[in-house]
Chain A
Amino acid sequence: MGKYVESILAAKDMDRRVALSRALSMRIRVEMLDILHDKGTGHWGGASSACDLVTALYFLRLNIDPAVPTKVDRDRFILSKGHASLLLYEVLAHRGYFEPALVHSFRDIDSKLQGHPCMHKTPGVDMSTGALGHGLSVGVGMALAARLSGRKYWTYVMVGEGCLDEGQSWEAIMSAAKYRPERLVLLVDNNGVQLDGPSAEIMPLGSISEKLIAFGWNVAPGCYDGHDFNSIVKSFEWLDVPGPWPKAIVYSTVKGKGVSFMEGKNKWHGSPIDDDTWNKARPELVAALEDAEATL
């Protein structure tokens, strides 16, 4: 495992980069499961649902320089659903922001890797998150700062549909539609399950796309599968098609993706992964990783 990671950015052929990123995402799922099992704390459900999207973003899309994490012209990424922190740490580590071994200190005392993302402790984290509903508001501010300073960086904000329960999210959606900051992108990890149960029961949102359109956003047409790298790449291509700002993409995802008995189950939002669960879950993820690697 692992030899392909360094080669993703070096690969000139986009298909090859996509295949390598996909394999890396599978590997990250295995590593996340191991760490969550080892630590007995953390969130699997929302981390696994966003895993392919965040991996694709950092390896196929973002203009960033891990050697200079605070570079002024870097693209910004805000993980508004901060409980998927372990995913962000995994991706940042693989992208070169810090040593992958550091991920094993997740949630430890004195660790740089807090329970939820913390911008002044972890290199590469653009905004601390944890309390839901903050990310898009901050992102609107960052995107307006780009406009005021004449910079061309992009600001990406990822929310889960649970994050959209927060009233502040809709305040932010309205303000973004008012100011229309260039290069502001909302990515919705619509996994359909929140902590207490299916979103359709806990707080039905109906069509998120239609709501965003009604609020004045430019929403990517069609359906995007947040676990299909080809679909994710297509959605990124749509971002480069000239059109009004701000832009949003709603991805269909599966909470707990990758472990059959965890998929779509709210129990695995944040339940600890015990030995039995780990023993049953891990082979599925390893098999998916081996399949992905076999195609390389």
Chain B
Amino acid sequence: MSVTMRDAIGKRLASIGHRRADLVVLDADVSSSTKSNYFAAEFPERFFNVGVAEANMVDMAAGLATCGFRPVVNAFAIFLALKGTDQARNVLCYNKLPVILLGAYAGLSDSFDGASHHAIADVSIMRSLPNMTVIVPSDNAEAEAALEAALDRNGPVYIRVNRNQVADLPAREAPFKIGKISKYREGSDLTIAASGICVAMALEAADRLRKVGVSAEVLNVATIKPIDIPSLSDSVRKTGRLVVAEEHTIVGGLAGACAEALASVPHVMDVVGLRDTFAESGPYDKLLEKYGISAAEIERKGLALVKVGKSSGGLS
């Protein structure tokens, strides 16, 4: 937690540059914000600052990828997801090209810049594209591991990168693997599936729930796509209850992915996330709280599910 997630990922990119001559990095005039400038300073000949033109940047990366390079594309997450979507879909995904999209300023983390800059629909957009892998890391270690894993993957990968310092999670049972859920807590009454900064909130909520006699299982669903259906369904079959927590709108992100994956598993479910609304400017922690993304909210929704029982026919 000593450095921001963007700093960690920027430095890791530069360090990978030393051992991978095929790594090329592109940025759309925000390299000092995304921190791709660390790579730029060390490898100027392999760094392309294309100006404020995300669409062109994504397709340039595609062209480089067809010729054996491994491009990493940087921009603010919401602008990459909105202005580079046609390119991500029709060029990267359709052709299964190994290009990594690093979406900086994930969720509400660019809090003061306001709704125009909040990435609250990037996961749902990227998730809807065939062949796209979508990763929402929960801490710096996971973000760096995701970047390394993405570089060995044969196809496009979208990775969300938080702007700020985020809490380091406890050590994992197993090394990070794309498509694998990490289980942080065993539980029997409730499953909490979380991504990004919400994993730390989920752990806090589980601690509080334990004090009132509720045993919550905590899953870190870093890979939103392809989602780890076996781990998710095993857990929810056991608990019968699911709270999904994500720094995203409740439309089509992790909650949608879980609902699709669990369509044939009887369970009750609720979602902690931004309602179908824009947020506003303000301090990051206050914004998260105001828009209902917090450990307290996970706890509240988890308790409510426990009260209604397992798939008992609706919530009160």
Contact = CB atoms under 8 A, between A and B. Distances in A.
A119 interface: yes
Interface stretch (A85-93, A105-113, A166-174): A166-174
Given A128-B94, A128-B95, A134-B87, A148 B60 contact: no
A8 interface: no
Task: Tell me the interface secondary structure of chain A in the complex.
Answer: helix
Interface in A179-194: 179
Contact of A138 (B50, B51, B60, B69): B60
9 interchain residue pairs of minimum CB distance:
A141-B63, A137-B59, A145-B67, A171-B56, A171-B53, A141-B60, A138-B63, A142-B63, A141-B64
A144 B64 contact: yes
B86 interface: yes
A171 B68 contact: no
Interface string A129-153: 0110110011111111110110000
A168 B48 CA distance: 17
A211 interface: no
B153 interface: no
Contact of A168 (B51, B55, B61, B69): B55
Given A145-B69, A148-B69, A137 B46 contact: no
Given A120-B96, A138-B63, A175-B60, A144 B48 contact: yes
Interface residues of B, number: 29
A157 to B, nearest CB: 10
Contacts of B58: 137
13 contacts: A119-B66, A128-B91, A128-B94, A131-B90, A137-B55, A140-B63, A141-B66, A144-B63, A145-B64, A168-B55, A168-B87, A171-B56, A174-B51
B173 interface: no
Contacts of B69: 145, 148
A126 B66 contact: yes
B255 interface: no
Which has the most chain A C-beta neighbours within 10 Å: B50, B51, B61? B50
Contacts of B59: 134, 137-138, 141, 168, 172
